[in-house]
A = this chain, B = another copy of it.
Amino acid sequence: MAAFARRKAQRLARPDPSRKRALDPRAAGLVRLLNARERFCTASSCDGRVTLTDTGGAGVQKKNCTWLLVTHDPCDKGDVMTALEKATGDAVFKFEPFVLHVLCRELQDAQLLHSVAIDSGFRNSGITVGKGGKITMAVRSTHCLEVPLSHKGRLMVSEEYIEFLVRVANQKMEENIRRIDRFHKGLELALEAADAAEPPFPQGPEKNSVYVHRRKRRTAREQGGPSTEMGAQDDTDSSLDLFAEITI
């Protein structure tokens, strides 16, 4: 636990390594919610974006792509057409949905996030457990577009198609935003329920420890327990099971 706390403090002290040097607005809310809790530390995030990249010549590796356009907001046909004029290689239009990586103190913390992510529609979410025990939960979705538009600098589609494509991308962006909001609400409820259910940190023999544990469970039940956002978990007892039933 101490090692996780140290790693978290170091990570949060670093400057934002992304191109933008700032969090996307929706991700920012989630990042604050998670980092306020000792057991989570966010690593990287993106609200979702539309991009236009160009290989700019034959045989250029993906990492050497030129970025002609990046937007986290609904995109505009005019902007895409203008960006395409600069393409000299193979230009590809993409919509990429919300992504969030979270370091978790314990496996059950990752399970909690994973459950909420899946219920919110982020069906490609998954946990990584590194060799040293580092646990990461990645919130991911399949909900994307990847459309080659030009070849060796020559545009292969009409302006009318670009307009159609931009409309489709913007619809996907709207659905993406709905999912982020669902995830945020689900996470708030799940974290509140988990906090209410958590037994006090052991600090020595407690005569009344069983009584305290039962009292917290009853309080959580009175508060309504975990949201149905968590899928199969309907009450506090189930969320306690989440902490107990990990067979390794």
Contacts and interface: CB of A to CB of B under 8 A. Distances in A.
Interface string A96-111: 0000000000110011
Contacts of A247: 106, 133
A177 to B, nearest CB: 18
B238 A131 contact: yes
The prevalent SS among residues of A at the interface is mixed
A146 B247 CA distance: 39
Contacts of A165: 148
A79 interface: no
A126 B242 CA distance: 19
A127 B124 contact: no
A131 B168 contact: no
Most B CB atoms within 10 A — which of A114, A131, A233?
A131
A157 interface: yes
A125 B136 CA distance: 12
A241 interface: yes
Most B CB atoms within 10 A — which of A133, A233, A242, A246?
A246
Interface in A22-68: none
Contacts of A241: 131
B131 A128 contact: no
Q: What bracket does the count of chain A residues touching chain B fall in? A: 35 or more
Contacts of A147: 145-148
A131 B164 contact: no
Contact of A125 (B115, B126, B164): B126
A245 interface: yes
Contact of A126 (B111, B128, B245): B128
A120 to B, nearest CB: 15
Nearest to A145: B146
A248 interface: yes
A8 interface: no
Interface in A137-172: 138, 140, 144-148, 151, 156-158, 160-161, 164-165, 168
Interface in A192-248: 232-233, 238, 241-242, 245-248
14 contacts: A106-B247, A107-B248, A115-B131, A126-B128, A126-B140, A127-B127, A127-B128, A129-B246, A131-B241, A144-B146, A145-B146, A145-B147, A146-B146, A148-B164
